[in-house]
Homo-oligomer: A and B are copies of this chain.
Amino acid sequence: MKGHVKALLFAAFLLAGGGCFFLGRSMAQSEYAKERDLNIQINRSELDGLGTIEGPIYVTGHKSPDADTVGCSIGYAALLQKMGYDARPVVLGPVNHETKYILEAAGVDTPELLEDASGCNMILVDHSEYAQSASGLADAHILSIIDHHGDGSVTTGKPLVYDAKPLGSAATIVWIRYRNYGFEPDQKTAMVMMGAILSDTKNLQSDSTTLADREALKALRTIAGVSDTDAFYQEMFRASLSYDGMTDEEIFFNDYKEYEAGGRHYAIGCIEVYDETDAKNMAERMKPIVPASLKTTGMDMAFAQVSVYHDGISVNYIVPSDDTAEEVLETAFGEKAVSDGTSYILKPGVSRRKVLVPAITDVLEAHPKE
């Protein structure tokens, strides 16, 4: 059955009220309270089925920890702590800039690093692949998996709580678990979970966003005391594009690739920034770096591609290494590329892989090295 037909049928069904147990029935207050308490007890009792747990329980997200994976670890460990478990959030490496921003805004410490999961009680959040998880996981006791991806390679000998839902953010699943267990996260935890949802749903704009994600964000921002989540998201996003603590040279080589065409070698370093002001500043910083790079790399020419893709703005500021590189860009893009003395500006911006490299390659192959 197609989704929309199904949705229509379902709506009609709800309106008719037929067969619908809870929504259609009128209940006294005491009945509501009783049923709710029973629901909570039943939902919680799945943890009893895990049996006796000796030692701490480590709650970990995937490698290269991002906002959702860290938000889930902190949020789910806190929920288990409320129920008396010795649960501890951990990470598998340094958190990214966006996550760092969220943790600092919430006043929450970065979770400790887990070096090896061998012999540990583990809960996996936001992943279910061994390759993405802690070393030693095959020798760990996996109690639970909370995820919004497909079912991955991880297998367990013992029964577990596996709660995967195809929602926009795994942190939304953690929030649903709070509700179904009858708890509410504290203010700091709510802010970290809010940041996780904003990040993974791109401020509720991604295709994968569901009603549950929207409701979770609404509830969590209230607890977190954040009135303007749009502004919070923009700051998170700006932080995600931060190159704090990196030299200009490190920034150029951060997402750097080399190519060959018409007997010449060239390279492009990509840098994503928040807005056009940041782009102009970054282009200025790259101006001495790009030509200097040729000496260490042995390339014939190089380009820094400083890009903005944000809020409907799509633009590249392309910094060439020298006159030859300038000529190549002019031949490749003609009037489409406007020079401001430092960069050639392309609006809308182009993909390195799909447009920039093929265009430069075409020019170099049309004018091969003699």
Give chain B nearest CB distance to A283 CB in angstroms. Answer: 39
- Among candidates B35, B40, B210, residue contacting A48 with C-beta atoms closer than 8 Å: B210
- Among candidates B9, B43, B53, B182, residue contacting A3 with C-beta atoms closer than 8 Å: B53
Mask, A1-24, CB within 8 Å of B = 1, is 111101101100100000111110
- Among candidates B36, B84, B161, B167, residue contacting A13 with C-beta atoms closer than 8 Å: B84
For window 162-191 of chain A, which residues contact chain B by CB distance below 8 Å? 162-168, 176, 178-180, 182-184, 186
Chain B residue nearest to A40 (CB atoms) is: B22
- Among candidates B128, B159, B163, B186, residue contacting A163 with C-beta atoms closer than 8 Å: B163
Count of this chain's copies in the oligomeric assembly = 2
Chain B residue nearest to A35 (CB atoms) is: B36
- Report yes or no: A84 in contact with B1, Cβ–Cβ below 8 A: yes
- Report yes or no: B155 in contact with A149, Cβ–Cβ below 8 A: no
For window 51-105 of chain A, which residues contact chain B by CB distance below 8 Å? 51-55, 82-86
We find that the number of chain A residues with CB closer than 8 angstroms to chain B is 82
Q: Is A324 an interface residue, CB under 8 A from the partner? A: no
CB-CB under 8 A from A86, the residues of chain B are: 1
Chain B residue nearest to A26 (CB atoms) is: B33
Q: Is A151 an interface residue, CB under 8 A from the partner? A: yes
Once the chains are docked, how many angstroms separate the CA of A64 from the CA of B142? 28
Give chain B nearest CB distance to A128 CB in angstroms. Answer: 8
Give chain B nearest CB distance to A88 CB in angstroms. Answer: 12
Q: Is A49 an interface residue, CB under 8 A from the partner? A: yes
Q: Is A246 an interface residue, CB under 8 A from the partner? A: no
Once the chains are docked, how many angstroms separate the CA of A108 from the CA of B82? 44
- Report yes or no: B42 in contact with A212, Cβ–Cβ below 8 A: yes
- Among candidates B85, B149, B212, residue contacting A1 with C-beta atoms closer than 8 Å: B85
CB-CB under 8 A from A3, the residues of chain B are: 51-53
CB-CB under 8 A from A353, the residues of chain B are: none
Known A29-B32, A164-B160, A165-B161: A179·B45 in contact at CB below 8 Å: no
Which 7 residue pairs of A and B lie closest in terms of their CB atoms, listed nearest first? A49-B166, A22-B182, A32-B32, A159-B166, A3-B52, A162-B164, A21-B184
CB-CB under 8 A from A51, the residues of chain B are: 3, 166
Once the chains are docked, how many angstroms separate the CA of A1 from the CA of B211? 37
Q: Is A145 an interface residue, CB under 8 A from the partner? A: yes
- Report yes or no: B150 in contact with A151, Cβ–Cβ below 8 A: no
Once the chains are docked, how many angstroms separate the CA of A96 from the CA of B310? 60
For window 137-156 of chain A, which residues contact chain B by CB distance below 8 Å? 142, 145, 147-156
Q: Is A208 an interface residue, CB under 8 A from the partner? A: yes
Q: Is A41 an interface residue, CB under 8 A from the partner? A: yes
Chain B residue nearest to A86 (CB atoms) is: B1
- Report yes or no: A6 in contact with B53, Cβ–Cβ below 8 A: yes
